[in-house]
Amino acid sequence: MKKFDAIIIGLGAYGSSLSLALAKEGLSVLGIDMYDPPHSYGSSHGDSRIARLANGEGDTYTQLAIRSRVILRQIQRKYKTRLMYRSGGLIISSEDVTEINHVPNVYRNTIKMAKKYAINHQILSANQIKKRYGIFNLRGNEEGYYERDSAIYFPEQCIKYNLLYAKELGSVHKVKEKVLKITENRDGVIVVTNKDRYAGNKVYLTAGAWNNSFLKKERLLNKYIKIYQQTLFWFELGTNFYKKYNVGRLPFFIWELPGRHKGVYGFPLIQNGSGIKIATEQYAKHINISRKLKRHNIDSKKFYDNYIKPNFFGITPRLIKTVNCMYSVTPDNKFLVRDVGKYKKITLVSCCSGHGFKHSYAITEAIAQIHLSNKSDIDISSFR
């Protein structure tokens, strides 16, 4: 049996970029996925992801977002394809906001990070936001952080090209093959699937919302990650509003709404006819992924009445489509990149909480550096 330097379980956002990062370092890599990524069953689908550069979540996250952009651009250039759109991004907040978005005071911290890392930004008054965009029904005491170089990443396209590039560098990918068991010993790891057995020096567990099934079964970690199903909505626009919502004119937006537990975020129109993609987050009910996806859909009418109708101009109640997608959330909202298991040959990579995509390239680059030399250019030791 051939022994790989690394076996990656799950080839979504993290597994696919890790396969690439390890292959770039010249390592022999086997990646396994039970579906055929990109697909729409995990955490990496739904057309678009917000990529803020200044991250109110702190220095590490800001450094990772900046570095990820560089790597993503390199892939884009190599394949002469579009993996992102530099749309700009707007965060709206006010003194009345009580919501905690990943960390306390994320809005003020974002501004601090932008100043510290010289990220181009503007602070807009409520009047300026109203005049510039004409779609937000503001109360008047809001303020906006506008970041020019914020972008929208296209997750399915990113995964497709990560896998392609990694394969060109020698990674082996097995799809439609389910990993059933991982065992580790002093010499390495054995991974058993529904089709075969594989040997490796190390396993990276990048199974997203399914990481838990291994952690529980193999008794690897006692601080479990909770899985929250989120619902994304696409609503039709009023005929006179297409221009206002068009990409190039409207940035993506995150609005921390006063008096609401969670805010609302949305994307400009990228494709005509596709409707405006807009969503909130729910942390009221988590799901058990192994009990074949008992859905907790957010009701679209309630969402429209509570979040859209009072706050936006030009979005009609006509629902074009909805999609469900899963957040993996730790008790303190932190990402996890840490060894689990007795012999430290299994590394868990769990970076979701609704903001992991934009960091995936730099985190997996750091993991590949640690694999080789036990240290990385960007320090991710706080994720342990």
Binding residue for ligand FAD, selected from 7, 12, 203, 220, defined by CB under 6 A: 12
* Residue 322 and residue 232 in contact, taking contact as beta carbons nearer than 8 Å: yes
Between residues 60 and 126, which has the closer beta carbon with respect to ligand FAD?
60
Rounded Cα distance, 184 and 198, in Å: 12
Residue 380 contacts ligand FAD per CB under 6 A:
no
Binding residue for ligand FAD, selected from 6, 7, 15, 90, defined by CB under 6 A: 15
Binding residue for ligand FAD, selected from 6, 7, 8, 11, defined by CB under 6 A: 11
Nearest-CB residue for ligand FAD: 12
Residue 263 contacts ligand FAD per CB under 6 A:
no
Residue 228 contacts ligand FAD per CB under 6 A:
no
Rounded Cα distance, 215 and 182, in Å: 10
Residue 327 contacts ligand FAD per CB under 6 A:
yes
Residue 72 CB, shortest distance to ligand FAD, in Å, is 11
Residues contacting ligand FAD: total by CB under 6 A: 36
Residue 141 CB, shortest distance to ligand FAD, in Å, is 26
Binding residue for ligand FAD, selected from 31, 37, 188, 266, defined by CB under 6 A: 37
x-or-dash string of contact with ligand FAD, 92-121, rule CB under 6 A = ------------------------------
Residue carrying structure tokens 């960390």: 103
Residue 282 contacts ligand FAD per CB under 6 A:
no
Residue 91 contacts ligand FAD per CB under 6 A:
no
Rounded Cα distance, 348 and 203, in Å: 9
Please name which of 350, 142, 329, 346 lies closest in space to residue 254, comparing C-alpha atoms: 142
Alpha-carbon Rg for the chain, nearest whole angstrom, is: 21
Binding residue for ligand FAD, selected from 87, 94, 206, 282, defined by CB under 6 A: 206
Neighbours of 99 (CB within 10 A): 17
Binding residue for ligand FAD, selected from 93, 354, 364, 380, defined by CB under 6 A: 354
Alpha helices in the chain (DSSP H): 13-24, 59-79, 106-116, 126-133, 155-168, 211-217, 242-245, 300-303, 360-373
Omega within 30 of 0 (cis) for the link into 38:
yes
Residue 26 CB, shortest distance to ligand FAD, in Å, is 23
Question: Cα-flanking dihedrals φ and ψ of residue 300, to 5°?
Answer: -70, -35
Core vs surface per residue 285-319: b (16+ CB within 10 A) or e: ebbebeeeeeeeebeeeebbebbbeebbebbbeee
Residue 232 contacts ligand FAD per CB under 6 A:
yes
Residue type, 43: S
Residue 34 contacts ligand FAD per CB under 6 A:
yes
Residue carrying structure tokens 């181009």: 120
Residue 202 contacts ligand FAD per CB under 6 A:
no
Residue 69 contacts ligand FAD per CB under 6 A:
no
Residue ranges binding ligand FAD (CB under 6 A) = 9-15, 32-35, 37, 42-44, 49-50, 178-179, 206-210, 230, 232, 325-327, 351-352, 354-358
